[in-house]
Each structure stands twice: as C-alpha cells, then as structure tokens.
Structure 1
C-alpha cells in the first residue's frame, strides 16, 4: 500500500469518493512560521489555512519549527507535509464524519539541527505570521537561557532570536514586523508572550531600537482556542488505513466543533479572512466575554459534573451524558444554574450551551472522567465558584446543584491516603489515584480525618473547606447559607451514597 505524499495526492484519487483531496500546491509561498507540529495545530490552524487556500483566499503555506529537540519533523517531511484529518461528532443530533487530506504545511524544520534554516525563514519578507502551540508551559521566561544557544531552550527565546535576525536583516524596516498569534491555553497568551520576549531582550542586552521595533511594529494577539483534538487514532488505525487505501503515519482526529477568538485589529481579519469560508473565527477588541463563556459553561460544566459521575461509577463523559440520571444532572446544571449566573447575552449563552451538550455526547471521543479530575481544586475555583457566587448575588439564594458539585468533589478525597505526589483513594467501583497539588491533597485528607459520620461532623468538614483561603482566595463561610448547604450534601453523600443522592437532586 502506497504512503501518503505529494506524488500520491497528485495522482488519481477518484476511487476515494468520500475523501476531500486538493492537489498538492507546490507553488504557494511560505507565509506562516509555526512553532509546534503537534496534533492540535494540525487539526486547527493548519486546517483553517488549508480551507482558505482551497478558495484562493490566502495562497500561502506554513513552515513549521519543531519547538523541542524530539519531534515529528522527519515524519512530516517524509509525507511532504501532508496528513489526513478526520473530524467526527454530532451535528443536529446525527453522527457526522469529515475526511480531508490537509496540504497547508510545506516542511518542518528542526532548529536543534537546522538553526541556519530556521533563521533563514526570518529573512523571507513573505513570512509575516507566527502561530504557536507549545503547551501551557511553553510561554515562559527562563533567566538561564542564552542568546548564543542555537537554539535557545524556550519558545519565547527562540522567537526573540528569530525576530532579532529579522530586525537585522531588514535594518529595522517598520513594515517587516510579524503578526504573532499564540494558541497556548493561558489567559492573555499574546501579552504574556510579548512580556517574555521583552524580558529576553533585556537579559541578552539586545539594542533598545530592537525592543522598540518589537513593541511598535509587531502584533502580539491574545487568543482563545477551542476544539477537542484526539490525535492519532491508535486503536482504529488498521480500519482507517484500510478505508483510506493508503498509509498515513500522521492521521489526525478531532471533533467537528471549533472556535478561535482573536483579539486584534479588524483590518487583520481581512488579511486572514477565515469568515469567508464559514469558519467559527471571531475577531474582537475584547475577548473577555468569550473567555467567560467558555470557562464557565464548557469547562465549568465538566468540572461541576465529573466528580459526581465518577463517584456514581461511570468512566467517561459519553457514559455520563447517556446515563438516565447523570445525563439529566449535567443538563440541569448547565441550563438552570450556570447559564443564568452569567451576565452576558442569553441567546449567545444558550446556543453555546446547546453546542456543549452535543460535544459532550460525541460518540467518537472517549474522554475519561479521571483525567478531567486532574487538579480539580484549582479548576473548581476558576470555573465553577464564580457561577455559584454570581448566582447567589443575582438571585439571593445558592444554586443547589453547583453547591452539590462541590460536595461531590470534596467526597472524592474522602478516605484517601497520600502516596508521593498523588492520593490513593477509593469509590464504590474500586480504588483510583487522585492527582492534585500535594498541599491540596494533604488539606483534604486532614479535613476528613476527624469525620465520624454525623451530620455535625459533615458540617465541620464543609466549614474547614470553605474557610480555606488558599483554595478560594476568600473565606466562603461568609456567603450566607453556604456552610449549612454544603454540609447537608456531604452528609447525604456519605450516608446515602452518590447514586441515591443524585437521583433525589434531579
């Protein structure tokens, strides 16, 4: 069976009626340098650029820089940058699968072995965009990083070297700045990346004129990205290869839903006209409402529902959504308590909430509840607590199911024993390892240590948790009724069990 590459794509693909294939665009110039060759960007930004190219709306390709020493550069180049993308999910309640060979990547450079080739890209006036996804830890400043390193160890360090080479090559030309679009999952990612670059300029004693050029002639855009990308389908690859009729080492999979919110000048939207091919890309002057919507509705629904579902005995999000009781619980949390707590346009929120439910039901994605439970205490503070407090402020009463969700989370830590950096815990379905900040694990273990099964003891656990300002940045016992309500739910869970308690709640 032939391997996917440019010669295969330029041959006759007519036998694959359900596969969208564009002829390999060898003559398109490189216009984007991308830091990161992983699954997410290939199923997100590179897919979008591919769709623009199909409509002659961008006419440019992506040269990828491998951000760490070990990566996929050789594999990407072996396939001439081509890969098959499978997008799968529910649309209006019906399963949908879209297949396409993506041809927006020209090549992949490994700066650890091809430093000169990497810097050569900075000399190309047509490469005017930077896109990155180097994980949440990628945008960091390392004071031990050195300018003479080839390459610097951090992504901001590599970007600083790139921009300085471009500045020198074009003698500070104000028209040769870059549009820099990070996709890392941190708040204000563009601002943080810009800050790190300026820190390197200072650390490395680079010219002040260069710092001024970076600030005045480069756009560092804040973004919000949203798409579940499940990556290489290891468990299905034999069947997929047989259906494709060729071998592809870079098959990538993801959900149908996508959202890219970019905070930047409106004129850039015309230079990157994603809206003209129907993509869900929003250019805005303030991304805060979009971030609030995603964090509170999508992430908040996950964080609020998963502890109860896990203790109930379920394993995946799909199981949770299909379950008669837990499925109802999740939908009620979103519709009755999260959406009403957010002071944004309700039509926008309801539409997004509908999409979230459909995404949670996606039969092609196996999202394990235990993996979502990772670092739950900090997630709860950012994603769910604001909904509880805002709901209370707006309605003068506590949202019962969201308070119950905190009780369910606290119950996850009950009877757990610290083991290294994790907690050996137990539920009715058996033992499991809970991962969280060690100090948080130690706190919850201590909070449960004197519990004797009584209602008063459950209230004492609730009070200890709510008073912990390290967890919540405030004393939550000051919120009227919170301690009593939380204590009551803890008592019911420990006395009657999760299944009976949730059934009564919904």
Structure 2
C-alpha cells in the first residue's frame, strides 16, 4: 500500500479539508504525538475555519526523531480524536495539513534551514513542547554550537539570528508541562544572552518578543498500538500512514498574554476552545483540582473496590456519584473562577473519564499518590474547611482511601515498591518516594488508631500536623475502618 503524501491522498478519495501550500508562519520545537494532536491540529482548524493560511516547520529537539518520516509524508498525517462529547461516543478522523516539513538541526543542512526560517518575514510564532526537562539552562552550551544541546540555547540562537537580520519580534508559546513555562523559558534565554555576552540591543529586542506561559489540556495516547487496528485503518483510508496520531476529543488551550494576542491568534475566529488571559494560574488550579484531583480523589478506593480501568468506574453509580459530589460540592466552591465555567469543566471530566477508546489503568494513576494528594486534593480540602467550618465528606473519605491503599494487607517492601494485597486476592505494588513506602512498611502492624495518627502527624507528608484540624483524626479513623470492614464501594456510597 502506498505511503501517505498529497498525490496518494488525492487518489484515495479523501473529502476533508487540505491545504497544500501556505507561508511557514510557525517554527515548532517538538514533533511528537502531543504537539501534532494539539497545536498543529489547532492551526489546521484555523486554516479551514478562519482562512489563516499558515504552516508549521517542525524541529526535532533531540537527534533521534521523526523528521525522516514526516518529510516522506510531506508533513501529512492522520489524526483521530476519540472519546465522548455531551455523553455521545465520538470518533473523528482528520488529515492534518498544517505541517510543511520537519528539520533535524543535528544535520548541518537542516540547522542552516532552521536559521533561514528564523529570518523569514512570514514567521509569527515559535511553539515548543520539549518535555518537562526541555526548559533547562545548561551553561555548557556555547554561542557557536551547531546546534547547542539545550532547547533554550537553540531558541536564543534563533532569536539572535532574527534580530541580526532586522526582523520583527515574535510570539513564543511554551507548552511544556511545568509551572510558568513561558517565564522560565524567557529566564533561560536571558541567561544565555548574559553568558554569551550578546548585545544590549538584542536583549531589549528579546524583551519585545512575547513569551507566553500556556496551559494545555488534551490526553494524547498517540500511535495506534494494535497492529490489526492499524492495518484496518490503512485499508479504510486507502494509504499507509507511519504517523497516525490519536487524541481525546476534549481540548483546551489557555494562553497567558496581552489582550491584543487573542485577536491576533486565529483561534477565537475559528471557534476553538482557547482564551488569552492576563494570568493562567487560575486555569492551572482548575485543571489540577478538578481533573487531576478527581483522579487522585477516587481511584485508590476504586481500585480496592475491584475496579481496574477509569472508564469502568464511570459505569458504577456509587463511585461516579462519589467523584461528582466531591467535585461539584467540595472542590468547585473553593475555586476563583466563573462557576458556570467550572461546572462545565467538571461535567466534561465525566465524559473524558468515560472514554471508550482509552483503557486508563487505575494503578498507573496511583503512582506517587502521597505527593499527588497533597498537591491536588489538600488545597481544596483546607479551603473547604476554611470556608465552611466543617470537614468535606468526600475529600476526607478520599484521604482515608489513600491510607487504606498504602496499608492493605502489606506483604513486603521490594526495590519496586510496597507490595500489598487487594481485597479480591491479588497483590499490587505501591510506587512512591522511598521514604513514604518505608513509612508504611514500618507501620504495617499498627492498629488503625496508631496508623491514622502516624499518617496525620507526619509533617514530611503534609508540611503540617493534620490532627490539629478539629474532628479529622476521628473521622478518618472511622472512614478507614468502614473501608476495611465493608469495602471501599460501600464506604463511597455512605458519602452520598
């Protein structure tokens, strides 16, 4: 079967939107599944809906990458957005044509090509997702490295080349999963300017570039893993695609930037779920406390109750009801955003968790739950108490479920983690920081009273003594005993 390219696509009978030629307006560091299912999809939709008429030049952040495959397919790839939307099953296919080519800057010709894009009059945006480790200042990177190893150093070279050519400043959209990603990237660039002794006028010009911190939200499983399904899709499409990408239907992009940027970007005109705001922090808080907090808040007890996949939990009225009560009655009232927006976001969470195409395992979500509960659930827990003067029923139960998960019939402590036994008989391995695992191992023979007291007074876990919160120790103890005696499902049901 022929490999996907423009000629093959035309012969395949594809009826969707395609843009074969357009100016290269984006330089994108990162060519992986996420950016192709998120950023490049957004610009592709903008080409269709808003006539934006732009393409992205992708750059491999590291030497091994997808440049060869992308270029062989002339930038084309098939994207499937799958999941649930408003309770309905969705499986959408779209061939993305917003990518022109991909460069490997570790080859001299492609490095030079990257610098040609840097000085182009068409260039408007630089986008990046170089993983959480990508935005790092490495003093070993030199001004004349070809290329330097770190992404911020490459970016500094690109911006310097553009300034030297007398071109206008650009907008930089950072999508890495770290706090204040845009600010951290700008800080690294400033460090290289100082280290390399670059001109003050260049530093001033860089200050006129718009470094945006952004919050991205879309689950992207990526490639089709089942060979039989991949073969079936190729057969249906009439071409072979090495770069098939799969993401969930839900997607939101919050960009921290000046008000004018919302009008300049094509997303608002395209009706896409993107807003430009002065501060992205409240939206990060929304995601962490609602989406991530929902996961950590219910999955540990759900696993003890016999569930293995997130989707299956959404088909159980007790577990789903527990999650929804926690979100709508205990978490949302503590958040500083429009309540309608928060309610809609929380309602979308249920659809996202009920995705029929994604088998999201509870055990994978359980990793490092000590720090996750502290970061995702404790802020809502403490804010609820501050506002209402009483304990939140579901969040308190979720704390008891966390303790139960880490202490259920402890078997042994191995290099891989703490081995416990589930009520239905099989063992499972708790993965967390070593000190946390050693704590539960040392307390494996405690009475429930001793264990709850030891956990709640552990300042290394919580940065405070939680027994000082009125009624918490007694309530968590009662909840833990209920989970152990009646099962986590019954304990969750008791909260409703």
TM tier relative to shorter chain: over 0.9
Q: CA deviation at 1:426?
A: 3.0
Quick one: which of 200, 203, 208 aligns to 1:211?
203
- 1:365-403 per-position Cα deviation (integer Å, ceiling 9, x unaligned): 221111111222222112111111111111111112111
Q: Contact between 2:6 and 2:20, CA under 8 Å: does it hold in 1? A: no
Q: CA deviation at 1:12?
A: 4.3
Quick one: which of 92, 95, 106 aligns to 2:86?
92
Equivalent residue, structure 2, for 1:467 = 457
Q: Contact between 2:84 and 2:355, CA under 8 Å: does it hold in 1? A: yes
Question: Aligned with 1:137: secondary structure?
Answer: coil
Q: Contact between 2:78 and 2:94, CA under 8 Å: does it hold in 1? A: yes
Equivalent residue, structure 2, for 1:34 = 28
- 1:408-440 per-position Cα deviation (integer Å, ceiling 9, x unaligned): 112222216432353333323422232222222
Question: Aligned with 1:151: secondary structure?
Answer: coil
Equivalent residue, structure 2, for 1:140 = 136
Matched, 1:377 2:370: yes
- 1:93-124 per-position Cα deviation (integer Å, ceiling 9, x unaligned): 11122111100000000111232222222121
Equivalent residue, structure 2, for 1:62 = 56
Matched, 1:268 2:264: no
Quick one: which of 178, 184, 209 aligns to 1:186?
178
Question: Aligned with 1:335: secondary structure?
Answer: helix
Question: Aligned with 1:135: secondary structure?
Answer: coil
Q: CA deviation at 1:56?
A: 5.0
d(CA) in 2 for partners of 1:131, 1:416: 48
- Residues 443, 195 of structure 1: CA spacing in aligned structure 2 closer, same or farther, 3 A cutoff? farther
Q: CA deviation at 1:489?
A: 1.8
Correspondences of 1:19-418 after superposition (within 5 Å): 20-22=16-18, 24-26=19-21, 28-55=22-49, 57-113=51-107, 114-170=110-166, 176-215=168-207, 217-235=208-226, 236-414=229-407, 415=410, 417-418=412-413
Question: Aligned with 1:339: secondary structure?
Answer: helix
Matched, 1:6 2:21: no
TM-score (norm 2): 0.93
Between stretches 59-68 and 110-119, larger displacement belongs to 110-119
Q: Contact between 1:69 and 1:112, CA under 8 Å: does it hold in 2? A: yes
Question: Aligned with 2:494: secondary structure?
Answer: helix
Question: Aligned with 1:277: secondary structure?
Answer: coil
Matched, 1:481 2:478: no
d(CA) in 1 for partners of 2:206, 2:436: 41
- 1:314-355 per-position Cα deviation (integer Å, ceiling 9, x unaligned): 111101111243222222222232223334322221111111
- 1:179-224 per-position Cα deviation (integer Å, ceiling 9, x unaligned): 0001111121111111121122223333333223222x11110111
Q: Contact between 1:459 and 1:488, CA under 8 Å: does it hold in 2? A: no
Q: Of the two structures, which has the highest relative contact order with CA contacts closer than 8 Å and spacing of 6 or more?
A: 2
d(CA) in 2 for partners of 1:145, 1:410: 46
| Pairwise CA RMSD | 1.9
- 1:257-307 per-position Cα deviation (integer Å, ceiling 9, x unaligned): 110011111222222121112100011112232222211111111110111
d(CA) in 1 for partners of 2:35, 2:53: 19
TM-score (norm 1): 0.92
- 1:458-479 per-position Cα deviation (integer Å, ceiling 9, x unaligned): 2332222222333223332222
Question: Aligned with 2:61: secondary structure?
Answer: coil
Between stretches 347-356 and 414-423, larger displacement belongs to 414-423
- Residues 56, 290 of structure 1: CA spacing in aligned structure 2 closer, same or farther, 3 A cutoff? closer
- Residues 341, 204 of structure 1: CA spacing in aligned structure 2 closer, same or farther, 3 A cutoff? same
Q: Contact between 1:39 and 1:231, CA under 8 Å: does it hold in 2? A: yes
Question: Aligned with 1:136: secondary structure?
Answer: coil
- Residues 480, 281 of structure 1: CA spacing in aligned structure 2 closer, same or farther, 3 A cutoff? same
Between stretches 119-128 and 99-108, larger displacement belongs to 119-128
Q: Contact between 2:367 and 2:431, CA under 8 Å: does it hold in 1? A: yes
- Residues 151, 443 of structure 1: CA spacing in aligned structure 2 closer, same or farther, 3 A cutoff? farther
d(CA) in 1 for partners of 2:305, 2:150: 43
Question: Aligned with 2:464: secondary structure?
Answer: coil
- Residues 345, 56 of structure 1: CA spacing in aligned structure 2 closer, same or farther, 3 A cutoff? closer
In structure 1, runs of 5+ residues without a counterpart are 452-456
Question: Aligned with 2:269: secondary structure?
Answer: helix
Q: CA deviation at 1:404?
A: 1.2
d(CA) in 2 for partners of 1:477, 1:222: 38
- 1:111-161 per-position Cα deviation (integer Å, ceiling 9, x unaligned): 112322222221212212111111122112223333343222222122122
